[in-house]
Structure 1
Amino acid sequence: MKRGSEEKNHETSLSPLPLCHRNINIPLDLTVEILKKLPAKSLVRFKCVSKCWSSIISSRKDFIESIVTRSLTQPPRDAHLIEDLYNKTDECLLVISSPCHQMTHKESVSILGTDHEYARGLFFCWSYDHQEGAIYNPTTRQSFNLPKMKHSHPGICFFGYEPLENHYKVLFIPNPVHRVEQACQVFTLGDTTAEEQWRNIQNIEYLYPFLSYRSIVSINGAIYFLSRFKVNDTTTEYKILRFDIRSEKFYNVDLPKTVTLMDLCWYYLINYQGKFGLICCHQRMEIWIMEEDAEKKTQRWSKIFFYEMEGFGNWFISNVTRAGEIVFINTPLDTSRICYYDPKRNSVRYVDLKDSYPKERDWDKGLLIRTFPDYAENTMSLY
């Protein structure tokens, strides 16, 4: 798949029959309700029926929201990106699995870079080496290249969704050495009214965001990320910041009283059943969940799980499902098995992706798996 393009489906299929003769008018509301009953894969094909249908399926916000919501109410499915670290190309394998069926979908896609984030059916891909970003929609098989910024100083990008205004935004944070010359910037997907595609926003001094998957999570219209602040030439502190996607402002996040700034390097930032949380698996497992009071502007932490366990240093936490299952891989590079651990029930289930990759490829040689739980279909057009 070429970046910034739409993949072509070479499978032959019967064209959809017209719903009516030319002399029969079907009310628009009824047409919308009929289309809502169709599978997402059929909707993508039926965009060619008419401009009206294409607009409803790919641009009408309430229709797209209904498709995403319907997808999330069905049996959960997880998206797995399998990346070959020894392969010089940017091709990854995307596998969709569910507890009911070991594998429901598999496709090879060309996805930019090695930093990948996910929000409501869309994947964001960022290449730090090339300073390029792209958004990919597996449902429509479209990809969209982010426009170039005026300045070319290196930095990193985060991706998130704001539900009140239904906006997908990309946050760019330049490296601290270039912070005087270039401010933090925001790009809004699908915003055709903006004079500038990238807009300057509030800046932050001496900020070193982590480049790790474990240090970023987007929840309920906010992006939480782990960063380092250079206090002086010899001292660096760890902090968690929250970026409010709607107001485009940064806020500090207070830590649990028993978690020190230096301890943060052992914690993963997670979305635990719709709430921001921290999880640590260094010699023990503990989960902290943050409760926020927007009116009082207060934060309160509670430890919901603690378990002493040896050998957790070899475990790689990939994500957390909506049901509260922690997604583990034994180490990032030497196994095709994914472990789902439910701390409340103290139960484990496994998904094996070995059959999804070419048999001639050894799993113990540089294959990296990233799991994105609760994958949703999204018919939104990226351009």
Structure 2
Amino acid sequence: MATSRAFSEELLREILLSLPVKSLLRFKCVCKNWGSLINNPSFTVDHLNLSKKKKPPQHLIYDYGATDDAPTVTLVSDKGIDEQNFQRFGDNITNMLGSIDGVFFIERQIDNAILCTLWNPANREVRHLPATTISFEYFICDRHLVFGLDPMTKDYKVIYYNHMEEYAAIYSCSRDSWKIFKHNLDVHQNPSTCVRNFYSSVDYLNGYYYWLIKEVTNKLSILSFDFGNEVFVEMEGPSRGHEDYNWSAELMLLGDSVGILNSVDGFVNDVWVMIQLGVWNKLLTIHLTTPVKSFYDNSFILVTKSSRLVSYNVRTNKTRLFEYRHPGLKSNPQCGGCGVYYYKESLVTIKRQGNSELHLSRCLTKVMNIY
């Protein structure tokens, strides 16, 4: 009898792991046993890993210019379009980054104040970040407010950095507070050199957030922030040995590598990849006749002339046309267009923690560090 019960629980777990988050949230209420199983930190980890491996990629389209009667968020995948009843945050969103494990960072401007929020659209959890003593003025070209994850502790963090100031601020979900620290960068850098990516995505990879540094001497370098050690790191770009090469570049991510897309002449673009720290290789030259909206894995997400999304894999040379069509795809999100974000739904919780939730979070950290 014990063997039969153990087999049934194991089979039940396998079945539940294959279900979407929306169904799991309903099934938590079926009985105490199901709720305990779905709330288990190891189940959250296994469900996320299975989603990454076996489920087709989705793209979350956020329409910054949506009217009150139009959907703000649309999910697009190989299987079609899924317009769901997501939360609306109003028309004052100025910045959206993500997703990391299904969690997004949202920046909103209310009057003269900047409000920061973490959002998991799958379980509808929202976490508003507290205020800090550093002012987050929006109309400053050299300020950067970015989102990442400490891969060792599984702690979501937000960093505010203005490289004309010698102090930065970092928010930690585990501490639920901001910490002001003196960073290790030259505060006299040219403010026009540290550029934010024009893609509506997050330049986060394996515990680091990346910026491209453009210098007036036609030289490139990379600035990164280590979310584990909470320090900035600088490294060489692909400029060395290519002094006669014209750089009109943007930072990108290709799989598990940092890359650069450089416009050479008209529609001609070179793709560079960092093969090891500070060592770069030109991967290929491609012709892009349509705007790039985002990227994931080894693919660009492009917009066709008819305002449809298409993905192009630079390593397999394969294209895939999505069903989704929207005129806002051709516009920048800051001008009321659509942002395109690679997305994997998850059960990850971002709620503020009481004593029981704090214990659950610590258990989740221990479980995730095993994987």
- TM superposition score category, shorter chain reference: 0.7 to 0.9
Q: What displacement does 1:72 show?
A: 1.1
Residue 353 (1) aligns with residue 331 (2) = no
1:1-383 correspondence to structure 2 within 5 Å: 35-48=16-29, 57-58=38-39, 60-85=40-65, 93-99=72-78, 101-111=79-89, 113-118=93-98, 119-127=100-108, 130-154=113-137, 155-174=143-162, 176=164, 179=165, 183-189=167-173, 191=174, 194=175, 197-203=177-183, 204=185, 205-206=187-188, 208=191, 209-214=194-199, 217-227=203-213, 239-256=221-238, 257=240, 266-283=248-265, 284-292=268-276, 298-307=277-286, 309=287, 312=288, 315-322=290-297, 324-330=298-304, 336-354=307-325, 368-373=337-342, 375-383=343-351
Q: What displacement does 1:223 show?
A: 0.6
Are the counterparts in 2 of residues 318 and 329 from structure 1 also a CA contact under 8 Å?
yes
Structure 2 unaligned regions, length at least 5? 138-142, 352-371
Counterpart of 2:338 in structure 1: which amino acid? Answer: I
CA 1:279–1:39 in structure 2 vs 1: closer, same or farther (change >3 Å)? same
CA 1:165–1:244 in structure 2 vs 1: closer, same or farther (change >3 Å)? same
How far, CA to CA, are the matches of 2:211 and 2:36 in structure 1? 36
Q: 3-state SS of the aligned residue for 1:201?
A: strand
Count of aligned pairs: 324
Q: What displacement does 1:212 show?
A: 4.2
Q: What displacement does 1:302 show?
A: 1.2
How far, CA to CA, are the matches of 2:131 and 2:235 in structure 1? 31
Are the counterparts in 2 of residues 239 and 261 from structure 1 also a CA contact under 8 Å?
no
Counterpart of 1:280 in structure 2: which amino acid? Answer: N
CA 1:106–1:260 in structure 2 vs 1: closer, same or farther (change >3 Å)? farther
Are the counterparts in 2 of residues 336 and 352 from structure 1 also a CA contact under 8 Å?
no
Counterpart of 2:130 in structure 1: which amino acid? Answer: P
How far, CA to CA, are the matches of 1:349 and 1:37 in structure 2? 25
Are the counterparts in 2 of residues 335 and 364 from structure 1 also a CA contact under 8 Å?
no
How far, CA to CA, are the matches of 1:260 and 1:109 in structure 2? 49
How far, CA to CA, are the matches of 2:49 and 2:180 in structure 1? 33
Are the counterparts in 2 of residues 279 and 285 from structure 1 also a CA contact under 8 Å?
yes
Counterpart of 1:220 in structure 2: which amino acid? Answer: N
How far, CA to CA, are the matches of 1:225 and 1:278 in structure 2? 11
The Cα offsets for residues 126-180 of structure 1, whole Å up to 9 and x where unpaired, read as 236642111111110122111111333524311112333222211111462xx25
Q: 3-state SS of the aligned residue for 2:59?
A: strand
Q: What displacement does 1:26 show?
A: 8.0
CA 1:364–1:139 in structure 2 vs 1: closer, same or farther (change >3 Å)? closer
Counterpart of 1:287 in structure 2: which amino acid? Answer: V
CA 1:338–1:282 in structure 2 vs 1: closer, same or farther (change >3 Å)? farther
TM-score, reference length from structure 2:
0.73
Are the counterparts in 2 of residues 115 and 213 from structure 1 also a CA contact under 8 Å?
no
Q: What displacement does 1:299 show?
A: 2.9
TM-score, reference length from structure 1:
0.71
- Between 1:74-83 and 1:32-41, the stretch displaced more is 32-41
Q: What displacement does 1:217 show?
A: 0.5
Counterpart of 2:294 in structure 1: which amino acid? Answer: N
CA 1:326–1:363 in structure 2 vs 1: closer, same or farther (change >3 Å)? closer
Structure 1 unaligned regions, length at least 5? 1-24, 293-297
1:8 alignment counterpart = none
Counterpart of 2:80 in structure 1: which amino acid? Answer: Q
Q: 3-state SS of the aligned residue for 2:80?
A: coil
Q: What displacement does 1:51 show?
A: 7.5
Counterpart of 1:131 in structure 2: which amino acid? Answer: I
How far, CA to CA, are the matches of 1:362 and 1:288 in structure 2? 29
CA RMSD of aligned residues (A): 3.8
Q: 3-state SS of the aligned residue for 1:353?
A: strand
1:17 alignment counterpart = none
Are the counterparts in 1 of residues 308 and 323 from structure 2 also a CA contact under 8 Å?
yes
Are the counterparts in 1 of residues 86 and 121 from structure 2 also a CA contact under 8 Å?
no
Are the counterparts in 2 of residues 92 and 109 from structure 1 also a CA contact under 8 Å?
no
How far, CA to CA, are the matches of 2:66 and 2:21 in structure 1? 35
Once the two structures are aligned, what percentage of the paired residues are identical?
20
How far, CA to CA, are the matches of 2:116 and 2:244 in structure 1? 31
How far, CA to CA, are the matches of 1:247 and 1:345 in structure 2? 36
Q: 3-state SS of the aligned residue for 1:110?
A: coil
CA 1:261–1:130 in structure 2 vs 1: closer, same or farther (change >3 Å)? farther
Are the counterparts in 1 of residues 220 and 236 from structure 2 also a CA contact under 8 Å?
no
How far, CA to CA, are the matches of 1:260 and 1:135 in structure 2? 42
